[in-house]
Amino acid sequence: MKKAFYPFAAAIILLASAFTFVSSQNWKIAEGHSIKFSGSGANGIFKDLKGQVIFDEKNLAASKFDVTIDVTSINTGNGLKNTHAKGSKWFDASKYPTIHFVASKVTKTAAGYEAQGELEMHGVKKPFNVPFTFTRNGSGGTFNGNFDVNRVDFGIGEAGGRVDDVFKLNVSVPVTQ
């Protein structure tokens, strides 16, 4: 009887650990995320971020990001700038309502991690890498990233105007399981 019990117990432990492994990868984006952009002529935030975050420091091959920013959630602190940014000369939010990033590969770097994927803005898709760090805190954590985006590469506005072509982004995304 004892001999039959050991394989059964081992199977239960293996099965339980498999479910723990799968559930530890899925993160929910929590309140308090911050997507700040800055450049000469325009600074602000995007308030709305949604998506799927699958990340496991011990199994980067299983990690994926699929996140969307609602363009209409832009806030520059100036109502006229917000309206202008959503208009046809810039983001054209009525035609292109979202900014979408999908990463299917995550690698370890000297400074943290890098998500490699595709960024879509203003109807233009381009390969894009997002460097980030991840800090665990209890059953949650926070993703932080600082990187540049050239708006002209995505057909947003005209090059060389009163607004910088390249914007700095500072992203902080708290997550829970």
Q: Do the Cβ atoms of 131 and 112 come closer than 8 Å?
A: yes
pLDDT at 117: 98
Q: How far is residue 107's CA from residue 58's CA, in Å, rounded to a whole number?
A: 11
In DSSP terms, which residues pair with 29 in a beta bridge?
Answer: 175
CA atoms within 13 A on the CB side of 127: 3
> Splitting the chain (177 residues) into consecutive groups of 10 residues, what average pLDDT does each group show?
45 42 72 95 95 95 97 96 95 98 96 98 98 94 97 92 92 96
pLDDT at 138: 87
